[in-house]
Structure 1
Amino acid sequence: MSTKPSTRSTQAAPHVVRIIGGQWRRTRLPVADKPGLRPTPDRVRETLFNWLGQDLAGWHCVDAFSGTGALGLEAASRGADDVLLIEQDAALVAKLRQLKEQLKAEKVQVQRGDALAVLRGLPRASKDLVLLDPPFAADLFSSALAAAAPLVRAGGWVYLEAPSQADGAELEALGLTLHRHLKAGAVHAHLLQRAPA
C-alpha cells in the first residue's frame, strides 16, 4: 500500500483493518509497522465495493502493491473467482501467505515481485478489476495505470489511489474513463472504467 502522512494526531497507520463484507466479513487484518505502508481505510473500501456491487462472483482480479492485502481480500471475500495479490516486500508476502492459509482462500494467489513487471506480463483483457495503490512517495501512478489498462476487459474496472486527481487526458489516452471519485484526507480514490467494446 501507499505512503501518506497520518492525518491522525501522533498515531501512524492503524495496526488493524477489517474486511467489510462477504464471507470473511469482520475478519481483522494486521497492519505491519512499516514505513510507507498505508492501508486503504475501511470506509473508503466500503465505498469502493458499494460502487462495484456487493457480489463479485465470476470476477478475475489483481491487487497490485498489495501491502496488507485488504483490497484484494475484500474482493475475494465478495466471491471473486480469482485474486492475484502482488507484493515486493518479503515480510509482507509471508504475512499474505499466512492470511491465505488462515482464511482457506483457495481462489487467492500471492506473488512476490515488482508489481509493474508482473502486470506487464499478464495476458491482455484478462481481468475484470485491477486494484492500484502504489506507494505515494514512489510516483508510480502513470506507470501503474499504463500497465493496468491493457489487462482490463472492455467494461472492466481499474481502482486507483493517488495523492491528486487523475488527469482526464491521460486516462482517455489509456482507454479509461472516470466513473467515480472521492477524496478522503490526502487520498484521491478513483474508479475508472475501460471503454465497452
Structure 2
Amino acid sequence: MRKKTTQNKATNKPSDGFIRVISGQFRGRKLPVKNVEGLRPTTDRIKETVFNWLMQDTRDTNVLDCFAGSGGLGFEALSRFAKNATFIELDSSAAKQLEQNISTLKLDNAYVKHTNSLSFLEQKNTNEAFNLVFVDPPFRKDLAQTTCDLLEKNQWLSDDALIYVEVETELTTFKNPSNWLLIKEKKAGQVFCKLYQRQAN
C-alpha cells in the first residue's frame, strides 16, 4: 500500500507527493507529504473504510496518531471535528511538514511531537486520556505490539477508547490487550485493518 511517487529525473529519486482529505470541513484539500523511507500514507480507500467505521465516533474526540508520517489519519479526524489531535513523528522532515500542514489549515488544536513513539508512550500519561488512537507503524519492525501494550499500560486511553491498528498481513504474532474488543476487521491488499474498543477493567 505504498504511495505512488514520481521520479525526479535530475536525481533519480522519488519526488514528494501529497495526501487528500476525503471528507469533512477540509474535504478535497491536498496536503504535501515528504518522501521518507518507510512512510506509507494510508490510501483513500482504507481511509474511507476506517472513517465509515468511525462515522459516529470522531466528533469531539482527543486523537493520538502514534506514527503520524503524512498525518493522513489525524487530519481526516480533525476534518471531521475531532476536538484535538496529537501527531507523533520521529523523522524531522516529516514532522516539519506536519507542522506546515497544520499551519496551512490554520489549526489551533493540532500538535506535533517530534520524538520516538515508543519513548513517548513509555511515560505515564498524566493528562487527559485519548478517545481515538491510530497505530499505523512502519511494517516489519515489530512496533505494533509494543505500542499497543504501552498505550494500555501507561494510561493513555480513556475507558471506552477506540484504537485503529494497521499491520502487515503476514504478521501472525500480534495480540491485542485482553480488554480490547475487536469490533471491525478488514484485509485490504497487504494490510490488515483492525478497530478495537477498550473495555475498562
Q: Kindly indicate whether the alpha-carbon contact (under 8 Å) linking 1:148 and 1:158 is maintained by their aligned counterparts in 2.
A: no
Aligned residues: percent identity?
34
What is the alpha-carbon distance in structure 1 between the residues aligned to residue 107 and residue 3 of structure 2? 33
Larger radius of gyration: 2
> Which shows bigger deviation, 62-71 or 16-25?
16-25
Q: Deviations over 1:4-49 (max 9, x none)?
A: 6x598x9989932211111111111223222211111111111111
Select the residue among 179, 182, 186 that pairs with 2:186. 182
Residue 162 of structure 1 pairs with residue 167 of structure 2? yes
Q: Note closer, same or farther for the CA distance 1:60–1:13 as it changes in structure 2 (3 Å cut).
A: farther
What is the alpha-carbon distance in structure 2 between the residues aligned to residue 20 and residue 169 of structure 1? 30
What is the one-letter code of the residue matched to 2:166?
E
Written as runs of structure 1 = structure 2, the 5 A alignment for 1:141-152 is: 141-149=144-152, 150-152=155-157
How many residue pairs end up in the alignment?
191
User: Which residue in 1 is equivalent to 2:20?
Assistant: 18
Give, in angstroms, the shift of residue 51 of structure 1.
Answer: 0.6
Aligned-residue Cα RMSD (Å) equals 2.7
Listed as ranges, the gaps of 5+ residues in structure 2 are 8-13
User: Which residue in 1 is equivalent to 2:10?
Assistant: none
What is the alpha-carbon distance in structure 2 between the residues aligned to residue 71 and residue 52 of structure 1? 12
Listed as ranges, the gaps of 5+ residues in structure 1 are none
Q: Note closer, same or farther for the CA distance 1:51–1:29 as it changes in structure 2 (3 Å cut).
A: same
Q: Kindly indicate whether the alpha-carbon contact (under 8 Å) linking 1:88 and 1:115 is maintained by their aligned counterparts in 2.
A: yes
What is the alpha-carbon distance in structure 2 between the residues aligned to residue 72 and residue 84 of structure 1? 8
SS of aligned partner of 1:130? strand
Q: Note closer, same or farther for the CA distance 1:54–1:41 as it changes in structure 2 (3 Å cut).
A: farther
Give, in angstroms, the shift of residue 57 of structure 1.
Answer: 2.5
| Higher helix content, 1 or 2 | 1
